[in-house]
Amino acid sequence: MFYVGESRKLFPTFFTVLLISAPVFAGQWYESIYSLMGFPQINQSVSSESYYHEKYISFSTGYDDVYRKKIYGKTTLTLAEQSNRVQFGLPWQIGKTRHLFTGELAEDFLYFNNLNDETSLISRCRIANTRIDARWIISRGSSIFSLGTEYSQSNMPFTINIKSFPESEDSQTNKYFFDLLEPTFGRELGSTLSLKNTGFSFWASTRLNRRWRIGVSMHYAGFDSDWRINYINSGQNGKRRIDIPMNGFDKVYRFSLLPNQSLLKDISITFFRDNIDYFIDNNRPNITDLKTLGQGDIGRSGSAININIEKQKWKISGGLSIANYDLDSFLRTPVLGYYLFFPISHSAEFNFSHGRSFSQQIGFDNNFDFRNINIRAGSVYTHALYDFWIKGTADLMLGLESTPLDYPFKYSLHLLDLHAEMEWRKGPFGLTYNFQQLIPIGRRLDDSPIRFTKKTPGVEYTNHGGQQHQINLGYYF
């Protein structure tokens, strides 16, 4: 992630990385944010008696204002999502064993547009994501067992337009590097991104003694994606193609203690690990070009402890989380041109000499009734401190020089989550409205020269988003 172009504006790489690398982002972007802050969510089995007696089917639609950037009051970047889903639950009983089968079919559309932004790379795209979830829950006596599976796929054709290219005060760097970028890549990159995600989950709970229950849960999700980029190399007169296959997984394990009668609802410890790796296939057009333009791997492992307390209609939660990060990345350009008969190509390597995060979380919820409407409202405050040390070196040809990176990056992120749910029931019908507002506040704590964003002095910037609205209509029979 570098500053590029005359305006020295950074393309919103953060959102691009989320769209490509986070298989749970579409339809569940808020859960992805909590996972990035060290508190991954995991779906556990229901224990309410009503779930085992009521058949239901529900339809829901929602709109998420994920992020909007404005300059002088004019929207220049939009990231939004529309979701539609159908859910059902089918309970039955065989002897003393109760069963519940639930399913969900969801279709989400994620929109991105930064055509009016002051940035070097602009694009507009629409991601269609289809997701299917199914769960089978078995309950007998004091024991509960559950299995679940999920599958989703996304496809996205889009075009990236390049408004400007980097420039340097050094004439040799321009001559043998930056001036060669436009004839190599052109001003338009045609792209296609496809992603498939498959996952499964397991949950079990049983009684230890008269006072305690134990619960064990696990979730695994793996994804495969391919990003294909087509462009025209006018400098060497030919069509070019780059393929970037990416693979990753997300593993979450949770162990819980649940008292039968106590203010303490549960105490749990969670272990998580995720990893993403990529490879850049240059589809070498001739023997003098390169087979690959890079590869990399980023991983994270950590643990969290959570406590939930419940008294009457009040619920209070708290948690601590710690995680370690690893990054190794290698990138290089295709052949940009020739000096005499020697091909010109430059490369760079990046890694974390150390990377860690420490997070804290506290929240509360309250239930109350107003006439025939049940209202649940609450808030969650999460803080994460990211502490990285970034190292990077560039290998430039023809005597070009580059200053190595060897700097800290320390960032404090605060997230306030305000949410409410209103449910109205009349006979077999139920109507639910959900609202959620995320308010992030971040601050750099280091004096490193590394900057991922930069604002132009005198320009008025405003940021909006983090909001979710959803309406659900259910029929119970």
| pLDDT value at residue 267 | 94
Instruction: Answer yes or no: are the C-beta atoms of 289 and 281 closer than 8 Å.
Output: no
The reported pTM is 0.89
Whole-angstrom CA distances from 96 to 56, 72, 92, 215, 335 are 22, 66, 11, 21, 70
In a domain, 426, yes or no: yes
Give residue 52's pLDDT band: very low, low, confident or very high (50, 70, 90).
low
| pLDDT value at residue 45 | 53
pLDDT at residue 354 tops 70: yes
| pLDDT value at residue 188 | 94
Sign of the dihedral defined by the CA atoms of residues 328, 334, 337, 340, in that order: positive
| pLDDT value at residue 174 | 93
| pLDDT value at residue 46 | 52
| pLDDT value at residue 27 | 52
In a domain, 170, yes or no: yes
Give residue 457's pLDDT band: very low, low, confident or very high (50, 70, 90).
confident
In a domain, 6, yes or no: no
SS3 21: helix
Give residue 11's pLDDT band: very low, low, confident or very high (50, 70, 90).
very low
SS3 49: helix
DSSP state of 4: B
Helices (H), 340-385: none
Summarised one tens digit per residue, pLDDT across range 291-308 is 999 999 999 999 999 999
Mean pLDDT within 452-473: 85
Mean pLDDT within 265-286: 94
Per-residue tokens: 333? 């350009």
Domain that holds residue 210: 13-476
Partners of 222 in beta bridges: 198, 249
CA 452, CA 390: separation in Å to the nearest integer? 13
In a domain, 1, yes or no: no
Q: Is 193 exposed, middle or buried (0-12, 13-18, 19+ CB in 10 A)?
A: buried
In a domain, 7, yes or no: no
pLDDT at residue 399 tops 80: yes
**Number of structural domains, the chain?**
1
Mean pLDDT within 342-368: 94
Q: How many other CB atoms are found less than 10 A from the CB of residue 39?
A: 23
Share of the chain above pLDDT 90, in %: 67
Summarised one tens digit per residue, pLDDT across range 184-242 is 999 999 999 999 999 999 999 999 888 889 999 999 999 999 999 999 988 776 899 99
pLDDT at residue 23 tops 80: no
Please give the single-letter amino acid code of residue 74: K
In a domain, 245, yes or no: yes
CA 372, CA 424: separation in Å to the nearest integer? 6
Q: How many other CB atoms are found less than 10 A from the CB of residue 474?
A: 20
Helices (H), 79-226: 171-176, 181-185
CA 249, CA 274: separation in Å to the nearest integer? 5
Partners of 410 in beta bridges: 387
In a domain, 29, yes or no: yes
Give residue 370's pLDDT band: very low, low, confident or very high (50, 70, 90).
confident
Mean pLDDT within 128-135: 94
Whole-angstrom CA distances from 440 to 31, 148, 261, 371 are 14, 32, 37, 35
Partners of 204 in beta bridges: 145, 216
Sequence-distant (6+) residues with CB within 8 A of 104 are 85, 86, 87, 131, 132, 133, 134
- 63-78 b/e with 16+ CB inside 10 Å = b? ebbbbbbebeeeebbb
| pLDDT value at residue 14 | 38
Sequence-distant (6+) residues with CB within 8 A of 41 are 31, 34, 35
In a domain, 282, yes or no: yes
CA 390, CA 476: separation in Å to the nearest integer? 55
pLDDT at residue 25 tops 50: no
Element (H, E) at 82: strand 74-94
pLDDT at residue 50 tops 80: no
